[in-house]
Chains A and B, each alone.
Chain A
Amino acid sequence: MSKVLIIAEHDGTHLNQSTAKCLNCAQSIDDAGADVVTLGNQCAAVAEQAAALTGVSKVLTIERAENEHAVAAVMAPQIAALADDYDYVLAPSTTFGKDLAPRVAALLGVGQLSDVMSVEGPREFKRPIYAGNAVVTVQVPEGKKIVATVRAASFRPVAPSGGQAEIASVQISVELPGHTRFVELLSGSSGDRPDLQTAKVVISGGRGVGSEENFEILYRLADKMNAAVGASRAAVDAGFVPNEMQVGQTGKIISPDLYIAFGISGAIQHLTGIKDAGTIVAVNKDGEAPIFEIADIGLVGDLFDVIPELEKHL
C-alpha cells in the first residue's frame, strides 16, 4: 500500500478547493485514502473541513505560532520530517504549492513533479511543458519518494464524504528558521464576486477593454451572470486590473464551464490558462485574432456594442 500525504492550502479559516482536487489525484494513485496535513495557528475549522472530504484517512494538524502564515522556508522542514512515513507528498499547483513543494523535495533529496495532469500508473504521470504545447509522460524510478504538485484544472474536487475522518494533532520538533518573515498581504479583493479558480463562469477582458473604468461593464455583466472576472496579462500590465486576475501560463490556470473573452487576442501564454474550460466564447473585433482558432463560439464584434446587448438578454 502506498501512503499519500496532501499538504492542505488554506487561509486560516477556509480550506482552499485545491485540496479537494489533490484528493481526487491521490485517489488515482491509491484509492485506499490519503492523509491531509494542515499547518497553521489555531485553524481547527480548516482541519474539520478537510476531515469531511471523501478519500481522507486522517487529518494531521501541526499548530504552531510560526505557522500563522504560509512561509515556505518555515513549513518545508516540518513537512520533510513528516514525509518520512509517506511515499507521496502532494500539494496543489497554486502559488502556495509551487513555492513550497520544491523546497520540501530538495530537503528530501529528490526531484519534484510539477503540474501533474493525470496519473498513468503508480510511478507514471503526465505533465504539460512548453506552456502546455506538449505533454510529457514521466516515470519516477522505484525507491524514491514522489513529491508533486497537482494541476488543479485537470482534476475535479472530491465531494464531501458525509462523515468525518479522524483529526490528530502532531508535534514535530524541528528547528525553524527566522530568516524569512511575513509582512502583509495586499489584496485587490474582487468583493463578493466568485473566486476565479472555482467559478463556473469566467468573464475576461484584455487590452481591448482599454481602461480600468471600462472594466466596469465587465464587472456588471459578471454580476448578472454570477461570474468571476479574469484578464490577460496585457490588461494587468496596463494597470486596468490587479495581478491576481491574470489568466494564463504565468497567471491562473482555470477550468470553468464557460469562459468568455472580450478583447483578448489569444496569445499561446493566455490560451494555456483556459484550454480546460468547458466552452470558450471569444468576442473580438478582429476576425483574424488567434483566439478564434480555439473558441467554441466566436463573435466578431466590438465589445462595447456586444456587452450592453448581451446584458439586455439576461
Chain B
Amino acid sequence: MDKILVGLKRVVDYNVRIRVKPDGSGVVTDGVKMSINPFDEIALEEALRIKERGDASEVIAVSIGPPDCQQQLRTGLAMGADRAILVEADQETDPLAAAGIFLEIIGREQPDIVLLGKQAIDDDCSQTGQMLAALWGRPQATFASKIEFSNGTASVTREVDAGLEVIDVDLPAVITTDLRLNEPRYVKLPDIMKAKKKPLEVIGAGDLGVDMSPQFSAVRHEPPAERQKGVMVEDVDGLIAALKDKDLLG
C-alpha cells in the first residue's frame, strides 16, 4: 500500500466542562483548551502502526478549519505523520462539506485508505466517513476496533450494538475508528522539534470548488435539562426504602 490519509479535527478538549453562551449562540470556546478529536488521534496512531509494520509508505494528516488547526496538525506531525494539509475555512464545516473537501484531497493524493474518527466530539455527528465513502463510491468500515490487511482487502472488526461484526472491504476504502482500536502514543519533545521541519501545506477551502454552504441553521443552543437533586441514603435498608417509595421494587 501506498498512502494513508488521516483526518484530524480540532475540537474542544474532552476534559473541558462545556458551557453554553448566555445568548444561546453557541458554546464557550474562548480561552478553552483545544485538542485533536480523540477518535482522530486513534486514527493517526493506527495509520502510523500500519506504516511501521511496512503496510504503507506515507501518512498524511488533514485538517479543515481555521489557521489555528495548524497546532493540531503539528501535534500530528510530532506523533509521526509525514506531512500535513490544512484546508483553511473560516466557517465551520458540516459533515457533508467536510466529506466534499476530503474527496478533493483524495483526488490529489490517491490514498489507499482514509482513516477518520467515528465521530467528532463537538458536533457528535458521526457522519463524515460514511458521506465521504458514498461520494467516493467506495466501501466504508465504521466503528473499527481491529484492522487487518491482505491482498488489497481490509478485514475490519466493527463495534456494533449486537457485539463485534467483521466485514471485508476492498481498497481503497474509508475506515472510521472506535476507541478500542489502539492507545495513541505520547509525543516526545525531540519529535516536536522535528515536526517543525515537516511539510505543512495550506490550501484555501474556496480553491477546492466544494459547496460549503451550511445544510442547516442553528436557531439556538441551550444547556440540557437538569435532573432534580437526589437524596443520599445511609445504608442498604435506606436504599430499599427509597426504591420502594418510588415503586421501583416489584
A residues apposed to B, CB below 8 Å: 11, 71-73, 76, 94-96, 98-107, 110-115, 124, 128-141, 144, 177, 179-189, 197, 201, 233, 236-237, 242-244, 249-250, 252, 257-258, 268-269, 275, 279-281, 283, 292, 294-301, 306, 309-310, 313-314
Contacts and interface: CB of A to CB of B under 8 A. Distances in A.
Given A252-B161, A313-B240, A107 B155 contact: no
Interface string B212-238: 000111111111100110111111101
Contacts of A310: 236, 239-240
B121 A102 contact: no
Given A124-B219, A187-B162, A296 B228 contact: yes
Contacts of A292: 230, 232
Contacts of B178: 250
B169 A182 contact: no
Contact of B216 (A101, A139, A179, A258): A139
A121 to B, nearest CB: 10
Q: Chain B, interface size: which category?
A: 35 or more
A83 B235 CA distance: 56
Contacts of B124: 114-115, 128-131, 249
A183 B158 CA distance: 11
Contacts of B220: 136-137
A309 B239 CA distance: 11
Contacts of A281: 239, 243
Contact of A106 (B99, B122, B173): B99
A310 B242 CA distance: 13
Contacts of A131: 18, 121, 124
7 contacts: A95-B143, A106-B131, A130-B18, A185-B162, A186-B165, A296-B228, A306-B236
Given A72-B130, A139-B217, A258-B248, 8 more contacts: A98-B130, A114-B125, A115-B124, A131-B18, A137-B220, A185-B163, A275-B224, A298-B233
Contacts of A184: 165-166
B127 interface: yes
B166 to A, nearest CB: 4
A79 to B, nearest CB: 11
A236 B233 CA distance: 29
Contacts of A242: 163-164
B76 to A, nearest CB: 21
A247 to B, nearest CB: 12
Interface stretch (B51-59, B66-74, B80-88, B132-140): B132-140
Contacts of A298: 230-233
B34 to A, nearest CB: 13
When A and B form their complex, which 3 residue pairs have the shortest distance between CB atoms, in order from nearest? A111-B215, A187-B163, A102-B130
Given A128-B124, A134-B222, A186-B163, A179 B138 contact: yes
A95 B161 contact: yes
B168 interface: yes
Given A105-B127, A182-B167, A299-B238, A141 B221 contact: no
Residue from the set B126, B138, B173 with the largest chain A CB neighbour count within 10 Å = B126
B20 interface: yes
Contacts of B216: 111, 113, 138-141
Contacts of A313: 236, 240
A207 B221 CA distance: 34
Contact of A134 (B134, B161, B223, B239): B223
B35 to A, nearest CB: 14
B142 A98 contact: yes
Nearest to A149: B126
Residue from the set B228, B234, B235 with the largest chain A CB neighbour count within 10 Å = B235
Nearest to A296: B230
Contact of B218 (A103, A137, A309): A137
B218 A105 contact: no
B90 interface: no
A203 B121 CA distance: 27
B64 interface: no
Given A243-B180, A281-B243, A130 B12 contact: yes
Contact of A299 (B123, B140, B141, B236): B236
Interface in B65-116: 94-96, 99
Contacts of B159: 95, 243-244
B1 interface: no
B215 A110 contact: yes
A299 B235 contact: yes
B179 interface: yes
